[in-house]
């Protein structure tokens, strides 16, 4: 391309306006209409060799041609010139909001933000009514012309609401700073995805910075999935309460908690704009956004008529939702490790947001237990926890101190971000914690004092595991490495490199000879735990490997993946035995029965399945959960199976015939379950920072353990059953006294 070149006999190129990874934009003269235009070109080599990019480019033209609104950049023409695709748009003389923000690092005047927001919403109303979702709103795509008129630009990754496939350059569509949780998770998008981005933009315009920032993409994802929306008004008290409340609603993790109609957002901004010209009503000082609990109890809003057919249907009948919302770091909720990877689908196989942010809207039975099998109860004297009339146990113990008769023995403080997982050493003397602050820590389980901080990973530490002899600790990290450490003093032994993405699970074989690492690069690697040499890489999964487990004899390895399958492998040869197919969504967890005869899988399709371990033959499908099942555990005798669901329940099942035993109604999403070593107790943990102990034989609630201020993603009993460890998004782990 060069100045003076004529395109399609009508457009004469004048100057280059910019280049990107897939194309370039030129200013040009439309000689037929005697006006200036902008022409976007797809590079010749991409036009010739990348059909996906061409499809995306053509889709942009198709979409833009349907939009006719003064607030949306007009597209005039589209075609092919000497093998190179081009798109002709109106030429805009103005400045982007990104440039305006650069001049106002503390934020723009509130009236200007409200006025611009109202124009943005009005333009989106037009797009959404045509069934078009932008999906990449950001300040650089919003241009102000004539000083105060807003134009929405670049519908390059928009999609039609009725499109069955979203064609994008990458698997993840959008700009990270403003991407909605459903985009981070690769789930279906609709008009509410644009509303989330709009909330982030309004926050940015008011404060001078986006609502969520982080040092890296994975941490940023965690904040979008889990962190509570910040309040712009805390930084600028002059911001109207109604505007602050609207932004919080727009930034809701669950799309159904965002405003149902874009027109409603526009109208609310108009009301705010008008109210700025007159004294605020007397009640404004006390008005506030509806609190989270209120919104969760309210019926979900009706979607616009232009919502995609594949988008989440409202109403309590839908198993609804990852991440999230997420996370970290701010004591907000987040799912069991590893964090939900792209590719989660709902119970019907339709992709949708899968993070822990999901709010269970199904009416639960107020904590009651629906028991279908009578059995001997665990004596309450088995617990040292003191409980009140409501079954709750309190306490505020801290590291290194014993809180007397309280069930809370110690609070282990020191991590700077959420604690992802916990593990006891085989002798129960040491507890290991893994955190998104990039460290693991060793603690004395008897006095709660720190033993060592294991530093060196360059990403969050997602998983920890002790070797069977307790001499070595393995850690798996978001930096794509696993590390082996001396479990007594915390000294680094070796770093295991080879994975291309995060390692979400590390597990030692029962004899301690082999270490398995499961990665987001879709592979599992087996290492000689003594020499640290790579034995083999197990390839075959098409998406993230979520979980891995050795059979009790160490001969078999089971893997679970976001590709909706589990797989069985021979450890000695690395040979694939079979792929376990049937789940309709991510298989989040896999575990062998104590005798090794049965394999259990938990899936985000809302079911668990039992398989014959020797050949992968399906035994039974355990149905009943109304939402994702993300954790599964066998009782020590192998007679019962526990499942944790985001429908707010844990469930007990009889393994021999797959019969349902009891529902343990826990209210919020249940993230983790674990049996005590003697099988008498079942621990559950949820996204509200509450753990509960249940009689594992009849499902009766024994006690509630409260004290965390963020979701609990991991629970573990000490080998003697006397202590329960909980790992929370509030950045702490806690040790609870649960046995004699």
Give catalytic residues, as residue numbers. 136
CA 388, CA 656: separation in Å to the nearest integer? Answer: 37
The annotation status of 40 as a binding-site residue, yes or no, is yes
What phi, psi does 170 have (nearest 5°)? -130, 165
Tokens of 76: 């005039």
Sign of the CA dihedral 119, 123, 128, 134?
negative
CA 674, CA 336: separation in Å to the nearest integer? Answer: 13
Write out the DSSP string of 257-296: GS-S-HHHHHHHHHHHHHHTTSPPPGGGGG--PPPHHHHH
Q: Hey, how many other C-beta atoms are within 10 angstroms of the C-beta on 77?
A: 18
Which residue in the block uniquely carries the two structure tokens 């006690």? 703
The three-class DSSP label of residue 399 is coil
Sheet holding 514-519, edge to edge: 503-508, 514-519, 524-528, 534-538
DSSP designation for 234: G
- Name the residue among 282, 398, 360, 410 with its Cα closest to residue 665: 360
CA distances from residue 307 to 158, 204, 261, 346 in whole angstroms, order as listed: 14, 27, 10, 17
- Name the residue among 501, 490, 496 with its Cα closest to residue 528: 496
Tokens of 93: 């003389």
- Phi-psi region at 8: left, alpha or beta (left = phi > 0; alpha = psi -120 to 50): left
| Structural contact between residues 268 and 313, judged by C-beta atoms closer than 8 angstroms | no
CA 367, CA 371: separation in Å to the nearest integer? Answer: 12
Q: At what angle do helices 191-207 and 241-250 cross, to 10 degrees?
A: 140
DSSP designation for 363: P
Tell me: cis bond preceding 338? Omega within 30 of 0 counts: yes
| Structural contact between residues 729 and 226, judged by C-beta atoms closer than 8 angstroms | yes
CA 246, CA 269: separation in Å to the nearest integer? Answer: 9
The three-class DSSP label of residue 663 is strand
CA 667, CA 649: separation in Å to the nearest integer? Answer: 7
Name, in order, each residue with C-beta under 8 angstroms of 68's C-beta and a sequence gap of 6 or more: 74, 126
Q: Hey, how many other C-beta atoms are within 10 angstroms of the C-beta on 370?
A: 14
- Phi-psi region at 245: left, alpha or beta (left = phi > 0; alpha = psi -120 to 50): alpha
User: Residues at the annotated binding site?
Assistant: 40
User: Residues at the annotated binding site for ATP?
Assistant: 40
């Amino acid at each position: 391309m060069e100045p003076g070149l004529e395109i399609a006999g009508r457009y004469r190129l004048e100057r280059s306006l910019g280049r990107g990874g897939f194309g370039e934009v030129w200013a040009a003269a439309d000689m037929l209409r005697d006006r200036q235009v902008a022409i976007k070109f797809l590079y010749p080599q991409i036009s010739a060799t990348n059909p996906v990019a061409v499809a995306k480019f053509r889709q942009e033209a198709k979409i833009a041609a349907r939009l006719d609104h003064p607030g949306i950049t007009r597209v005039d023409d589209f075609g092919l010139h000497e093998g190179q695709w081009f798109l002709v748009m109106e030429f805009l003389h103005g400045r982007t909001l990104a440039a305006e923000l650069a001049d106002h690092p503390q934020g723009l005047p509130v009236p200007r933000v409200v006025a611009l927001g109202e124009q943005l919403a009005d333009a989106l109303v037009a797009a959404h009514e045509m069934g078009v979702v932008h999906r990449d709103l950001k300040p650089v795509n919003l241009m102000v012309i004539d000083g105060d008129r807003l134009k929405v630009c670049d519908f390059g990754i928009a999609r039609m609401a009725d499109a069955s496939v979203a064609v994008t350059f990458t698997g993840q569509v959008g700009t990270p700073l403003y991407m909605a949780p459903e985009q981070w998770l690769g789930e279906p998008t609709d008009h509410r995805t644009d509303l989330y981005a709009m909330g982030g933009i309004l926050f940015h315009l008011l404060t001078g910075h986006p609502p969520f920032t982080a040092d890296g993409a994975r941490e940023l994802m965690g904040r979008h999935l889990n962190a509570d929306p910040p309040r712009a008004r805390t930084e600028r008290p002059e911001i109207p309460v109604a505007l602050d409340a609207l932004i919080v609603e727009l930034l809701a993790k669950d799309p159904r908690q965002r405003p149902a109609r874009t027109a409603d957002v526009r109208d609310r901004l108009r009301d705010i704009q008008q109210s700025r010209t007159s004294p605020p009503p007397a009640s404004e000082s006390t008005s506030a956004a509806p609190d989270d609990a209120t919104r969760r109890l309210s019926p979900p809003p009706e979607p616009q008529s232009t919502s995609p057919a594949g988008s989440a249907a409202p109403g309590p009948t839908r198993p609804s939702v990852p991440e999230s919302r997420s996370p970290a770091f701010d004591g907000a909720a987040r799912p069991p490790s590893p964090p939900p990877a792209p590719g989660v689908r709902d119970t019907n196989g339709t992709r949708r947001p899968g993070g822990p942010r999901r709010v269970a809207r199904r009416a639960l039975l107020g904590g009651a237990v629906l028991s279908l099998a009578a059995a001997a109860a665990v004596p309450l004297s088995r617990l040292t926890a003191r409980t009140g009339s409501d079954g709750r146990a309190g306490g505020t113990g801290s590291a290194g101190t014993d809180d007397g008769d309280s069930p809370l023995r110690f609070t282990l403080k020191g991590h700077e971000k959420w604690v992802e997982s916990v593990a006891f050493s085989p002798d129960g003397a040491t507890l290991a914690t893994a955190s998104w602050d990039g460290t693991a820590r060793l603690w004395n389980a008897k006095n709660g004092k720190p033993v060592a901080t294991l530093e060196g990973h360059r990403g969050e530490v997602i998983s920890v595991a002790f070797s069977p002899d307790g001499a070595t600790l393995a850690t798996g990290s978001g930096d794509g490495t696993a590390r082996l450490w001396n479990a007594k003093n915390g000294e680094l032994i070796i770093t295991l490199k080879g994975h291309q993405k995060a390692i979400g699970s590390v597990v030692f074989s029962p004899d301690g000879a082999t270490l398995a690492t499961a990665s987001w690069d879709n592979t599992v690697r087996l290492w000689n735990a003594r020499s640290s040499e790579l034995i083999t890489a197990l390839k075959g999964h098409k998406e993230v490997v979520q979980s891995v487990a050795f059979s009790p004899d160490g001969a078999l390895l089971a893997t679970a993946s976001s590709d909706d399958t589990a797989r069985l492998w021979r450890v000695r040869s690395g040979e694939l035995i079979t792929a376990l197919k049937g789940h309709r969504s991510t298989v989040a967890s896999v575990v062998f029965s104590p005798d090794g005869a049965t394999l259990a899988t938990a899936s985000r399709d809302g079911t668990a399945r039992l398989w014959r371990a020797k050949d992968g033959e399906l035994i039974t499908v355990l149905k009943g959960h109304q939402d994702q099942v993300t954790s599964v555990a066998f009782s020590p005798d192998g007679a019962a199976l526990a499942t944790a669901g985001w429908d707010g329940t844990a469930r007990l099942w009889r393994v021999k015939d797959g019969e349902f035993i009891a529902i343990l109604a826990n209210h919020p999403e249940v993230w983790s379950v674990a049996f005590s070593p003697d099988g008498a107790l079942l621990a559950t943990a949820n996204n509200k920072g509450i753990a509960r102990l249940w009689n594992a034989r009849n499902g009766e609630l024994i006690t509630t353990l409260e004290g965390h201020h963020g979701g609990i993603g991991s629970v573990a009993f000490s080998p003697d059953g006397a202590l329960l460890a909980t790992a929370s998004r509030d950045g702490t782990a806690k040790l609870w006294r649960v046995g004699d």
